[in-house]
């Protein structure tokens, strides 16, 4: 089952993408046979509920919402109170949208600390403090480990194993992980880790590819089939751990796919999904 993460169309970042409205995205995805869509908060504004209903009326599922604010690190909001307030708002938005998966990108090392261990503890604490609130709104929280190349400022969780360990520490039912090809493709321990620890814990699976000659860690993701990730093997690891949800195409690509007509991008994803994933 294929879903679109709207980051793939670029419009969630200023100055990028074709500027499609959520309604345009929904209609074209429905026409092309996608099963669901994951939105970004920025697209919703105060229309979360309306956009959720519109998506379901078109026969699609709202697969998820991206994402919570950074919980730690130099890119996080300046105070703990602001972070926690925005975290609660993101949960409310996911509930209004009618999705049960909200993705968490942890944020990097907390200013004043070195390494990632202290920051991981802060993330665990902050997630634990909102977990019950999220559960009351039927929202599951998906910790997404990011490629170590992003650990300077965007993440303190770099592997599926670390994210699963954090889940165990938090110890509640509605906190799990998201697996994104871009972040885990290099990890030769992934199969074993997921097999041993991830049963029932995987809340999302994100597709793209890692380009051999990538020019930007954040905004030069490849289309499936254009890179070096073993897409079939990773999907197999995820599904062997019991994941039955969507494969969600999430391609940040400022210089290539974001410059193309979204119709072409969305059709290409369908073709590549069938051929390579
Ligand atoms: Zn992702």
**Alpha-carbon separation of residue 177 from 96, 138, 191 (angstroms):** 22, 16, 15
Global pTM reads: 0.97
pLDDT of residue 277: 97
Distance 163 CA to ligand 1 centre (A): 14
Q: What is the whole-number distance in angstroms between the Cα of residue 179 and the centre of ligand 1?
A: 7
- Can you tell me the distance from the alpha carbon of 68 to that of 73, in angstroms, rounded to the nearest whole number? 14
Residue by residue, pLDDT tens for the chain (277 residues) are: 999 999 999 999 999 999 999 999 999 999 999 999 999 999 999 999 999 999 999 999 999 999 999 999 999 999 999 999 999 999 999 999 999 999 999 999 999 999 999 999 999 999 999 999 999 999 999 999 999 999 999 999 999 999 999 999 999 999 999 999 999 999 999 999 999 999 999 999 999 999 999 999 999 999 999 999 999 999 999 999 999 999 999 999 999 999 999 999 999 999 999 999 9
Identify the three-state secondary structure at position 119: helix
CA 196 – ligand 1 centroid, Å: 22
Residues 6+ apart with CB under 8 A from 259: none
Quote the pLDDT of residue 92: 98
**Separation of CA 22 and ligand 1 centre (Å):** 19
Query: What is the C-alpha to C-alpha distance for residues 87 and 80, in angstroms, rounded to an integer?
Result: 10
Which ranges constitute the DSSP H helices of 224-261? 231-240
Contact present, 26 and 55 (Cβ < 8 Å) = yes
Nearest to 3 by CA among 19, 21, 25, 18: 25
The Å distance, Cα 66 to ligand 1 centre, comes to: 9
Query: How many angstroms separate the alpha carbon of residue 144 from the centre of ligand 1?
Result: 7
Backbone CA torsion sign across 196, 200, 202, 207: positive
Distance of CA 155 from the midpoint of ligand 1 (Å):
12
């Amino acid at each position: 089952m294929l879903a679109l993460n709207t980051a793939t169309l670029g419009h969630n970042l200023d100055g990028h993408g074709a500027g499609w409205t959520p309604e345009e995205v929904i209609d074209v995805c429905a026409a092309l046979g996608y099963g669901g869509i994951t939105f970004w908060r920025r697209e919703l504004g105060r229309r979360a509920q309306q956009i959720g209903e519109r998506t379901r009326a078109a026969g699609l599922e709202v697969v998820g919402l991206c994402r919570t604010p950074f919980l730690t690190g130099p890119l996080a909001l300046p105070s703990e109170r602001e972070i926690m307030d925005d975290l609660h708002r993101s949960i409310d938005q996911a509930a209004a949208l009618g999705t049960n998966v909200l993705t968490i990108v942890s944020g990097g090392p907390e200013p004043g600390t070195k390494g990632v261990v202290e920051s991981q503890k802060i993330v665990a604490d902050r997630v634990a403090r909102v977990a019950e609130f999220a559960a009351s709104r039927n929202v599951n929280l998906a910790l997404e480990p990011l490629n170590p190349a992003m650990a300077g400022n965007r993440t303190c969780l770099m592997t599926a194993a670390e994210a699963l360990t954090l889940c165990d520490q938090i110890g509640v039912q509605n906190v799990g992980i998201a697996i994104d090809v871009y972040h885990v493709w290099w990890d030769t321990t992934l199969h074993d880790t997921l097999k041993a620890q991830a049963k029932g814990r995987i809340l999302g699976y994100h597709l793209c590819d890692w380009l051999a000659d990538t020019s930007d860690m954040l905004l030069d993701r490849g289309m499936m089939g254009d890179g070096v990730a073993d897409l079939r093997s990773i999907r197999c690891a995820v599904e062997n751990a019991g994941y039955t949800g969507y494969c969600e195409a999430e391609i940040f690509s400022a210089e290539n796919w974001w410059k193309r007509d979204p119709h072409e991008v969305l059709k290409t994803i369908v073709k590549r999904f069938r051929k390579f994933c």
